[in-house]
Amino acid sequence: MLADPEGRAFCVIPPGNNFLAGCGFLGEVSCDGSREVGVFWRDALHWELVWDEDGETAVQAPQGGTKLSWGGPPIEPKTGRSRQRFVLSAADPSVEAARLAALGAAVLSETEDEIELADPDGHEFSVRRS
């Protein structure tokens, strides 16, 4: 376990770890969140749910690469805006935002070129015009 210059923790995991099978150099982006959020991002990204155990989830693109994971309970209470934010791009952000809302996201704000939403746990992300 290490920390970046601002004190945020990160792990360096040696090769051969089964969880990181099929990953590249950056094996995982780990987030705080519920199983519901892992399932939401699986459906939002059309990725595979590659880990689903004891409330912890991880998704990965079908062709492999970096995993996105959520640690499950206990989940730290959300205070302020999220440090980690996903930004998606779409030809028509309003169509994509409607699809994501149908999956469980909430629309927070809207401009012509970008729509800010929140996932089922309340973490903000954006859809921008590509």
CA 39/CA 109 separation, integer angstroms: 23
Give me the domain span that covers residue 40: 1-73
Q: Are residues 67 and 20 in the same domain?
A: yes
74: preceding bond cis by omega (within 30 degrees): yes
> Which pLDDT value is given to residue 7?
86
For residue 20, pLDDT beyond 90: no
- Structurally, the chain folds into a number of domains equal to 2
pTM (2 d.p.): 0.84
pLDDT single digits (tens) 60-97? 999 988 999 999 999 888 888 887 789 999 999 999 99
Question: In 4-127, which residue ranges form alpha helices assigned H by DSSP?
Answer: 35-45, 93-103
Q: Which of 64, 56, 53 is CA-nearest to residue 21?
A: 64
Helices (H) and strands (E) in the chain, counts: 2, 10
Domain endpoint, select from 51, 73, 95:
73
